[in-house]
Amino acid sequence: MPAIQLTPAQRKEHRAAAHHLDPVVMIGGEGFTAAVEKELEVALNAHGLIKVRVFSDDRAAREALLAEVADKLSAAPIQHIGKLLVLWRPIPPKEKAERDDRMPGPRTVKIVSFSKSGNHRATVKKVQVFGNERVTSGGQVKRAKARATSVKKKARD
């Protein structure tokens, strides 16, 4: 599959977004293997925009590797700076739906609490949580704070 073609403005936006990212995949001495391809595929599906570290001292080889990876994974090559490569591909709709699975309605959450001594079995409690609630790390259900705009609306009415 061919690589995605982006305009310079789009590439600039993706470069800016990738600035703070850390490399999620590293390509070693073996080069672009099937295992590396699989990891890159998973990372692109999960994040869309990724950095890849290449452990090679040959700049021309890294340039060729960027083009090869972009073509094989149908991604857009964003940047090659030093030993870092930046790739982008839109996240598939199915992956987006899996990440945004929090519904506003009620959902059942399991809260597991372990004994302090470690000799007893963990207790599991099922709690129903609504859209404006969250479960803390301590297992408590907390309601979201009222937003400032809704408070102002209530005061106006």
pLDDT tens digits, residue range 9-56? 999 999 999 999 999 999 998 999 999 999 999 999 989 999 999 999
pLDDT category at 61 given cuts 50, 70, 90 is very high
pLDDT tens digits, residue range 66-89? 999 999 999 999 999 999 999 999
Domain ranges within the chain, ordered by starting residue: 8-95, 102-134
Give the DSSP H or E segment for 11: helix 8-18
pLDDT at 78: 95
Cα 32 to the chain's mean position, in Å? 22
Whose CA is closest to 59, among 20, 85, 36?
Answer: 85
pTM for the model: 0.60
Going by CATH, does the domain composed of 8-95 fall within 3.30.110.60?
yes
Q: Give the residue, 72 or 100, on which the prediction is more confident.
A: 72
pLDDT tens digits, residue range 118-153? 788 888 888 888 877 888 877 788 887 776 665 555
Give the HSE-up count for residue 129: Cα atoms under 13 Å, Cβ half-sphere. 21
Q: Say whether pLDDT at 156 is over 70.
A: no
Rounded to 5 degrees, φ, ψ at 64 are -65, -40
Whose CA is closest to 83, among 69, 98, 62?
Answer: 62
Edge-to-edge strand ranges of the sheet holding 84-88: 23-27, 49-54, 84-88, 76-81
How far is the C-alpha of 148 from the C-alpha of 106, rounded, in Å? 24
Give the DSSP H or E segment for 116: none
pLDDT at 154: 59
pLDDT at 128: 85
Q: Say whether pLDDT at 98 is over 90.
A: no
Instruction: Output the DSSP codes for 49-88.
Output: EEEEEE--S-HHHHHHHHHHHHHHHT-EEEEEETTEEEEE
pLDDT at 110: 85
pLDDT at 145: 77
pLDDT category at 100 given cuts 50, 70, 90 is low
Buried b (16+ CB within 10 A) or exposed e, 47-73: bbbbbbebeeeeeeebeebbeebbeeb
pLDDT at 124: 87
